[in-house]
C-alpha cells in the first residue's frame, strides 16, 4: 500500500518558515509544517508569533548569525534556533542551552557534515553539566536517557530539529542513514556531581568549576553493560573494556573502535566501588585502554584479509596486522561520566567511527 505521507521538500530558508498569528490545532500545524520539511513527525507546539516573541524576549539581536550549520550551511541565529525550540516545546529560559549545543556543532572537529549525512546510525547526543542541568531542571538520575523529564526531552529534540531544519539534514534527502536510531528524535542527559573519582567533564577540559556547560558527542547509539557480577574493580573494568571493542564499530581508517573517543556512563554505585578501592580516574582510563586493546590476530581471518591488507598493505600475519587495535586515541580519550540512578548498569555510548570529536562549550547567557 503506498504511503500517504507527503514527499518532503528540500530545506526551506529560515525567512520562509511560517509564523502563525492564531493558535492552530496541533495536529493541523504538525501536518502543515511536515509538508514544508519542518518537524520530525511527532506533534509540535505551533510556532505562533506570541510564542516566538516570548522565546526571544530580551535578546538584543536575535537575527545575528553565529555561523553556518552543516550539511547545507543554514545560518545559526537565536531566531532560527528559537523557532525550533518552540516546536520542541522548550521554555524560553532553555534557549541558552540549546543555542550553545547547536553552536558546538559548528566546530570542525565534530565533523557535523559527516555525522548528519552518513548511512550509519550516527547522531548528536547532548550532555549538560550539573550547573546547566540545575538551571533548567534536567535529569541526571534514574532513567536519564529515557522519558519522564521535559527538559531532557525538549532540549534534545530542539537540537535535533535544528540540525534538520537549519542544517538541512532531512531523512532520505541529506540524512542518508540506512536505519537511523531513536536518538535522532532526542538525545539529551545530564551529568551528576559529587564524585571524587569523576570530576565534571568541563572541569577536566579547563572550564571554570561550577560554570554551566554543554558537551555534544557524535554517537551511534547506546549499549548496556552489566557490571553487577563482581565488586572487584579489576573485574568491573574488564567487563566494561570487553564491551568497548565490537567488531562492527572498527574503523579501517583510524584503526580504532569508535571515532577516537569512548564515552562510558557510570552510575554512582560503580563509581563508589572504584573510588573506595583507591583507584584514580587516570588509573581507570589506563586500565580500560590496555584491557580494551585487541590484537588484530584475534579478528576474523576474512576481516584481516579484506580490511587490514587493503588499508595497510600488510599480510594477515605480518607485524602491522598483529599490532593492537586501540579502543580510543589515548587513555585520556576514554571519558567516564557520572550519571544515572541506582544499580550497577553502565551505558556505553560508542562514538561514530567515521571520525568525530566531542566538544564542550560554556553556556553564555543570551539576555543581559
**How is 115-138 classified by DSSP, letter by letter?**
HHH-SS--EEEEEE-HHHHHHHT-
Task: Name the 3-class secondary structure at 59.
Answer: strand
For the chain (368 residues), the mean pLDDT of every run of 10, in chain order, is 49 90 93 92 97 97 96 96 98 98 98 96 97 97 97 98 94 92 98 94 96 97 89 95 84 79 96 97 98 82 72 53 82 97 95 94 93
Cβ pair 163, 243 in contact under 8 A:
no
**What residues pair up with 48 in beta bridges, in sequence order?**
20
The rounded radius of gyration (Å) of the Cα atoms in the chain is: 22
3-state SS assignment for residue 68: strand
> In the chain, what are the helix, strand and coil shares in percent, each to the nearest 5?
40, 15, 45
C-alpha cell at 23: 493558535
CA distance 7 to 364: 38
Helix ranges, the chain (H):
26-35, 49-56, 78-88, 95-104, 112-117, 130-136, 150-165, 201-204, 233-242, 268-276, 281-292, 301-303, 309-312, 319-322
Which pLDDT value is given to residue 314? 55
Residue with cell 584475534: 298
- In this prediction, residue 308 carries a pLDDT of 65
Q: For residues 119 and 249, what is the distance between their CA atoms, to the nearest angstrom?
A: 14
The residue whose grid cell reads 514527499 is 7
Contact status, residue 259 vs residue 109, Cβ threshold 8 Å: no
Question: Could you tell me the three cell numbers for 186?
Answer: 532526542
Considering only CA atoms, which of 36, 72, 42 is closest in space to residue 169?
72
Domain ranges of the chain: 11-214, 222-361
CA distance 10 to 116: 15
Neighbouring-strand partners of residue 224: 347
Amino acid 319: pLDDT: 47
CB 75 within 8 A of CB 166: yes
pLDDT given at position 3: 45
Amino acid at each position: 500500500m503506498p504511503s500517504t505521507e507527503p514527499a518532503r521538500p528540500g530545506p526551506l530558508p529560515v525567512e520562509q518558515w511560517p509564523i502563525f498569528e492564531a493558535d492552530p490545532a496541533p495536529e493541523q500545524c504538525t501536518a502543515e509544517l511536515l509538508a514544508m520539511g519542518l518537524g520530525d513527525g511527532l506533534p509540535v507546539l505551533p510556532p505562533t508569533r506570541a510564542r516566538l516573541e516570548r522565546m526571544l524576549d530580551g535578546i538584543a539581536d536575535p537575527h545575528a548569525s553565529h555561523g553556518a550549520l552543516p550539511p547545507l550551511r543554514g545560518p545559526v541565529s537565536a531566531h532560527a534556533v528559537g523557532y525550533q525550540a518552540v516546536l520542541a516545546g522548550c521554555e524560553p529560559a532553555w534557549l541558552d542551552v540549546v543555542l550553545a549545543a547547536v553552536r558546538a556543532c559548528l566546530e570542525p572537529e565534530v565533523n557535523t557534515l559527516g555525522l548528519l549525512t552518513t548511512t550509519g546510525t550516527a547522531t548528536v547526543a547532548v550532555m549538560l553539566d550539573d550547573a546547566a542541568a540545575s538551571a533548567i531542571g534536567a535529569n541526571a538520575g534514574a532513567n536519564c536517557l529515557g522519558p519522564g523529564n521535559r527538559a531532557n526531552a525538549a532540549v534534545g529534540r530542539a537540537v535535533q530539529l535544528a540540525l534538520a531544519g537549519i542544517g538541512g539534514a532531512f531523512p532520505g534527502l541529506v540524512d542518508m542513514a540506512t536505519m537511523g536510531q531513536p536518538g535522532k528524535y532526542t538525545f539529551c542527559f545530564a551529568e551528576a556531581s559529587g564524585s571524587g573519582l569523576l570530576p565534571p567533564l568541563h572541569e577536566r577540559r579547563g572550564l571554570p568549576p561550577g560554570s554551566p556547560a554543554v558537551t555534544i558527542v557524535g554517537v551511534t547509539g547506546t549499549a548496556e553493560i552489566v557490571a553487577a557480577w563482581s565488586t572487584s574493580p579489576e573485574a568491573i573494568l574488564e567487563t566494561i573494556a570487553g564491551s568497548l571493542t565490537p567488531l562492527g564499530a572498527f574503523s579501517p581508517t583510524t584503526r580504532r573502535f569508535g571515532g577516537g573517543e569512548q564515552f562510558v556512563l557510570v552510575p554512582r554505585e560503580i563509581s563508589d566501588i572504584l573510588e573506595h578501592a583507591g583507584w584514580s580516574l587516570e588509573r581507570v582510563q589506563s586500565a580500560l585502554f590496555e584491557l580494551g586493546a585487541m590484537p588484530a590476530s584475534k579478528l576474523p581471518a576474512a576481516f584481516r584479509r579484506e580490511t587490514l591488507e587493503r588499508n595497510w598493505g600488510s599480510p594477515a600475519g605480518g607485524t602491522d596486522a598483529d599490532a593492537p587495535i586501540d579502543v580510543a586515541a589515548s587513555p585520556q580519550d576514554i571519558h567516564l561520566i557520572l550519571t544515572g540512578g541506582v544499580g550497577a548498569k553502565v551505558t556505553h555510548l560508542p562514538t561514530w567511527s567515521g571520525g568525530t570529536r566531542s566538544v564542550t562549550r560554556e553556556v553564555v547567557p543570551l539576555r543581559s
